[in-house]
Structure 1
Amino acid sequence: MMFCSIFSDKHKKDRWQRLSGMNRKRALISETFKVKKRRNGTEKFGADSVGDGPTDIRSTLEYLMTLFPRKLFNDTLPQIVLKHQLYSIHNDKTLVDKEVNKLREQAELLMFQLGFDAEAFGLVFASDYRAKVLAGEEGKVTRATVEKFLEKVLTPSCTDLSFSKDRMLREFLFTDSEITQLVKSGVLTVRDAGSWWLSIPNSGKFTKYFIQGRKAVLGMVKKSKYSEVLKAELEERRTTTQVKFHMKYHIHDIVGAELVER
């Protein structure tokens, strides 16, 4: 059984030293979650059938995307996974990053800077992104410009998270007016003067619900007796209105982001 807990830094250090000599299988049973970041990796969690291999990263993405609350957004958003959620299942972060980059270079996967945290990157399958974006552009005057943009960015040669004005004008051959249309449509959002982030249209509500849900779930751990709670119990907790996503979605987030540890 898994526990979630919060400890002081000294308690955290002492406990980790005791756990470090344990057999990994025993650790999976006895480790606790701590609402503190650490540099060590996390144990496997969630999709137990998923291993650490090239094809498994895609399988893990598909599993995590099943937890995305499509109905909450009237199925207008592509299914979003945070890259660090993969770390809650796969121990080898280097492998995860390598395989994610391969999928991006094959134009199968897009990555986005979500804005609320410099280390929080959203992952979306390119085909899903294209379908949702174009569906949202149906009947709008910006559709042709958006479609032109997608043809240029959904390619193996383009894995950038942001675009400079010079590149948009000289390489992609967009006009200032077309760039304005792309910002209006939501596929670009301002990064700073003269550059834009690649973005997911209408994802503001996702970010809002995600952050408030994360805070609420962490609060549940903190308020539990001895600041500990079984993983199974946390998954089955009756959630408040602050938690609109599947509980497992949030658990993979707080474990992968090392806001808790087991």
Structure 2
Amino acid sequence: MARVPKRRRLIRIYDDDDLQSASEAAHEGNKPGEASLAVPDTEQAPDLPANIEEVDEDDFSNFPSDTLAAVLLLRAQFPSGWSRDVPPLVLRSQIYSIVKDRTVVDRQLDELRLQNKLRMFKLLTLQDVYAYLPIEDYQALISRLEHVQKEKGTVDIVLAVFQWYMQRVLPQCTGIDISHEDLMWHLSRDDRGNESHERVTEAHVSLLLHVGLLTRHSVPGRFLFALPNAGPVVKGIIAGRKELLGMLTRRRHPEMFVKELEKKKLHSSPLGMRWHVRDLLGSGTLLQTQTTVGPLLRVVKKP
């Protein structure tokens, strides 16, 4: 007897155009030799789609995983207007707002991280907030940093650390942090793990710290892998959360219909209403319920 595939239930908080964008992004991301993932036009998508419904696993059958499809969707819809040096961060909470089964999300995120397809970062100024970035995006960001440093006159022997970092450290060290000892060891090894002829010095480590690829850990002797130029996004997350929640909590009942919320604009954050709603839905700060007149968002806890 043929096995009937298990149908997992996902939450749809986007429309058919969004689903198509995710499909295109997923297929582009699987093309060999591509330096980065294609970004579909995000201006056509509404700020906060209202057709919220449950969909089946079959809708995501062409994607490597539900979680990766959600990451590519969120990455493709990252608000435009930023410098290309600002990474299109995807928060774990946002993924939770799309894929209903959090156990599946956590497992698949861990698999993608271990495979070095996604890089995971701890956002230091936000408690328990983790961001993800496709490895292609991170590598493209590193290459731009290398180019900038070359134009500034950094000598080639020190510039080499960027390539060592991408080729020797990232594939082997997929966690959020690394010890100073392990960093030096990986930087000084070739692809086969043998000691290379290049001499690794503290000048190489200092450059990685200077450009923001590493930041010092609260634990002495350790570094956190970091995202250069992520500061504006983090600032936007904090400000946007505060403004959106204030908008709701000032009401007699801390709730608002999605259609009504769609018409409002955030003044403190360029990330957009939908971006923040997905964050707060996935974190459990907002609860979404269906009513006879449309979906309703309600504040259920403080972030």
TM range (shorter): 0.7 to 0.9
* Matching of residue 188 in structure 1 with residue 211 in structure 2: no
The Cα shift of 1:244 comes to: 1.3
Which residue number in structure 1 is paired with residue 79 of structure 2?
69
Task: Name the structure 2 match of 1:58.
Answer: 68
Find out whether 1:87 has 2:113 as its counterpart: no
- CA drift of 1:153 comes to 3.2
> 2:285 aligned with 1:259, yes or no?
yes
Q: Does 1:217 align with 2:244?
A: yes
CA positional deviation for 1:96? 0.2
**Is the contact between residue 216 and residue 223 of structure 2 (CA under 8 Å) also seen in structure 1?**
yes
CA distance in structure 2 between the partners assigned to 1:95 and 1:79 by the alignment:
23
Deviations 1:12-36 (A, max 9, x none): xxxxxxxxxxxxxxxxxxxxxxxxx
1:54-73 residue CA offsets vs partner (Å, 9 max, x unmatched): 6221111111113312422x
Structure number with higher helix proportion: 1
Residue type of the alignment partner of 1:104? R
Are 1:163 and 2:175 matched, yes or no? no
Structure with higher RCO (Cα < 8 A, 6+ apart): 1
Give the match for residue 270 of structure 2.
244
3-state DSSP of counterpart to 1:138: helix
Structure 1 window deviating more from structure 2 (245-254 vs 173-182): it is 173-182
- The one-letter code sitting in structure 1 at the alignment partner of 2:202 is D
Question: How far did 1:225 drift?
Answer: 4.1
Letter in 2 for 1:77: V
**Corresponding residue pairs, total:** 217
CA distance in 1, matches of 2:217, 2:285: 27
Where 1:89 maps in the other structure, the secondary structure is coil
Alignment pair present for 1:146 and 2:162:
yes
Counterparts in 2 of 1:51 and 1:182: CA distance versus 1, 3 Å? farther
Q: Equivalent pairs: percent with the same residue?
A: 28
For the 8 Å contact 2:87–2:229, the answer to whether it is kept is no
What is the SS of the residue equivalent to 1:63?
helix
**CA-atom RMSD in angstroms:** 2.1
Unaligned runs of 5+ in 2: 1-9, 20-54, 189-199, 289-303
Residues of 1 paired with 2:205 and 2:144: CA distance? 20
For normalisation by structure 1, the TM-score amounts to 0.76
